[in-house]
Amino acid sequence: MVEVQTQVSLAEHTTLHIGGSAAEFVSVDTEGDLISALNCSIPILILGAGSNLLIADTGFAGRVIHIQTSGINLIDNQLNVAAGENWDEFVLWAVDNGFGFFAPLTGIPGTVGATPIQNVGAYGTEVSELIESVTVFDRLTKEKLILNNNQCRFGYRNSLFKQEPERFVVLQVQFKPVKVEQIEVKYEELAKKIGVNVSDLVDARRVLAAVREIRASKGMLLDPTDSDTYSVGSFFLNPRVSEDIKTELPSEVPAWQQQDGSWKISAAWLIANSGFVPGYRVGDASISSKHMLALCNRGKATAKEIMQLAQEVRSAVKSRFDIELEFEPTIL
pLDDT at 1: 73
pTM tops 0.75: yes
Residue 234 is among the residues annotated as catalytic for this protein: yes
User: What CATH code is assigned to 5-67?
Assistant: 3.30.43.10
Which is the catalytic residue, given 21, 234, 274, 288? 234
- Give the pLDDT confidence score for residue 166 in this predicted structure: 92
Q: Is the dihedral of CA 317, 319, 321, 327 positive or negative?
A: positive
pLDDT of residue 248: 95
pLDDT cut 90: percent of the chain above it: 92
Pair 140, 264: CB distance under 8 Å: no
Q: pLDDT per residue over 264-277, tens digit each?
A: 999 999 999 999 99
- Would you state the CATH architecture of domain 70-217? 2-Layer Sandwich (3.30)
> Which of 48, 47, 50, 4 minimizes the C-alpha distance to 23?
4
Residue pair 271/292 in contact (Cβ under 8 Å)? The answer is: yes
157 classed as catalytic:
yes
Top-tier CATH class for 231-331: alpha beta
Which one of the listed residues 63, 157, 215, 240 is annotated catalytic?
A: 157
**According to the model, what pLDDT value does residue 75 have?**
82
Enumerate the CATH 3.30.43.10 domain ranges in the chain, comma separated: 5-67
In this prediction, residue 249 carries a pLDDT of 96
Residues of the chain with CATH 3.90.78.10: 231-331
Per DSSP, the three-state class of 146 is: strand
Is the dihedral angle over the CA atoms 53, 57, 62, 67 positive or is it negative?
Answer: positive
List the chain residues with pLDDT less than 70: none
Out of 24, 31, 126, 328, pick the active-site residue. 328
Helices (H) and strands (E) in the chain, counts: 9, 22
pLDDT of residue 259: 85
pLDDT score for 221: 79
Whole-angstrom Cα Rg for the chain: 20
Every domain of the chain with CATH number 3.30.465.10 lies at: 70-217
Residue 313 CA to residue 325 CA, distance in Å, equals 9
